[in-house]
Amino acid sequence: MEQITVEHNPAPAKLEVLGVHSWPLWEKEISTFPWTYTEQERCYLLHGEVVVTPDNGQPVTLRKGDYVIFAAGLSCTWEIKQAVKKHYLFG
């Protein structure tokens, strides 16, 4: 499995089945920070733009409308270019 899996603009029906809009919200201003996922995270970006670069990997740009799965064990750097607001779920 890829470390970062991105689905651009998934169908509203898929988001409803996943229950995305009932997941907690997370917001963060423009910033850069390292992050390691101890467990899988699924998220859906409501606003913003971020470049996530896995350690020793290629940068992945995420934007509003992206549904993303981050693999457990992924170490990366988040570079938030526009303030982010997302629904997220761990595990």
Q: What is the mean pLDDT of residues 58-86?
A: 98
45-62 confidence digits (pLDDT tens): 999 999 999 999 999 999
Domain coordinates in residue numbering, the chain: 4-90
Q: Say yes or no to pLDDT of 1 above 70.
A: no
Q: Average of pLDDT values for 25-54?
A: 98
Q: What is the mean pLDDT of residues 2-19?
A: 97
Query: What topology does CATH give the domain 4-90?
Result: Jelly Rolls (2.60.120)
Name the pTM for this structure: 0.95
Q: Tokens for 67?
A: 């549904």
C-alpha–C-alpha distance, residues 26 and 58, integer Å: 24
Q: Which two tokens stand for residue 10?
A: 């998934």
Q: Whole-number mean pLDDT of the chain?
A: 97
Q: What is the DSSP string of 2-38?
A: -SEEEEES--HHHHHHHTGGGS-EEEE-SEEEEEE-S
